[in-house]
Amino acid sequence: MDNRIDTTFARLAERRHKALMPYITAGYPDLDATAKLLVEMPKAGASVIELGFPYSDPIADGPVIQESFTRALAAGLLVGDIFETVRKVRQDVQAPIVAMLSFSIVYRIGVETFLTRAAEAGFDGLIVPDLSLEEAPDIAGQASAAGLRLVMLAAPTSSPDRFRRIAEISQGFVYYIAVAGTTGERDKLPDDLAENVRRLREIGGKPVCVGFGVSRPEHVRQVCQVADGAIVGSAIVRRVTEAVDGKATTSTLVDGVTDFVRQLATGLP
């Protein structure tokens, strides 16, 4: 079954290009802004969009994204609202959309039901940071049957065996966590980045994208010298928060975020 993630990375590889993957929090500051960002970010250079599902107990999210979750949930955001928003804009968004969420949300709704609804809404894959490695193969199989891809996360602290299993199970691409800890902006990226990315790609034969700590065009450039894509989250969400706190209009907020995505894209080779 064709999947936008697979076709996007195949096209990028053919052209020797790399992926820029911005992250935004669904429903933050509201669903209208989410819809407009989903449509506009690919025009600014985003190859794939990661859409976070707010959750009351963040897993690996730093304070910037945690605050966005708190505000979105306080406004009454529901999972069904996220599905409906993606469904409404899907025909206007050619880039793959990947859900980033806690397995608690999937489990509460029911794995089969969640995957079916996500696929029908127009999602292309999901990243589930708290999914156990033991449960992952079964979920990956169900995701694939629904036309989705289950993206696994590997960390610098992963054991060699865990590294191997993650690389083999992951679908679409592997999400490599550049630095141990929570998401957030950092001044420099670690020295072992290139070697760990090389190992993951060699084992799994899949694209490897790097996130956590990537926040500037020079980071994107550094990451894309060794990986297949760069993921930027906290730096984008922080700009959303600054726009909200500054009482910016939705139009101004969207323009500011897409301008930043355009800046980040200058780091792509």
Catalytic annotation, pick one of 50, 124, 161, 185: 50
| Stretch 5-16: mean pLDDT | 97
Task: Categorize the per-residue pLDDT at 181 as very low, low, confident or very high, splitting at 50, 70 and 90.
Answer: very low
The pLDDT value recorded for residue 185 is: 41
In this predicted structure, the answer to whether residue 1 has a pLDDT above a threshold of 80 is no
CA dist., res. 21 & res. 159, Å (int): 26
Active site annotation includes 61: yes
The pair of three-digit structure tokens given for residue 174, joined into one six-digit string: 């592997």
The pLDDT value recorded for residue 157 is: 87
| Stretch 200-204: mean pLDDT | 94
Residue 99, beta-bridge partner list: 51, 126
User: Any idea what the CATH number is for the domain that residue 109 is in?
Assistant: 3.20.20.70
The pair of three-digit structure tokens given for residue 35, joined into one six-digit string: 């819809």
| Stretch 136-164: mean pLDDT | 95
> Across the chain, what does the average pLDDT equal?
93
pTM of the model: 0.94
Which residue range(s) make up the domain with 212? 4-265
Q: Each residue of 41-100: pLDDT tens digit?
A: 999 999 999 999 999 876 656 789 999 999 999 999 999 999 999 999 999 999 999 999
Active site annotation includes 50: yes
Q: Each residue of 44-60: pLDDT tens digit?
A: 999 999 999 999 876 65
User: Cβ atoms within 10 A of the Cβ of 190, count?
Assistant: 13
Q: Each residue of 110-146: pLDDT tens digit?
A: 999 999 999 999 999 999 999 999 999 999 999 999 9
How many domains are contained in the chain?
A: 1
**Nearest Cα to Cα of residue 214 among 260, 173, 255, 152:** 260
The pLDDT value recorded for residue 183 is: 43
Say which amino acid occupies 269: P
SS3 label, residue 185: strand
Catalytic annotation, pick one of 61, 120, 191, 192: 61
* Helix extents (H) in 57-176: 63-74, 79-89, 103-109, 111-121, 136-145, 160-169
Determine contact, residues 124/55, Cβ cutoff 8 Å.
no
CA dist., res. 169 & res. 229, Å (int): 19
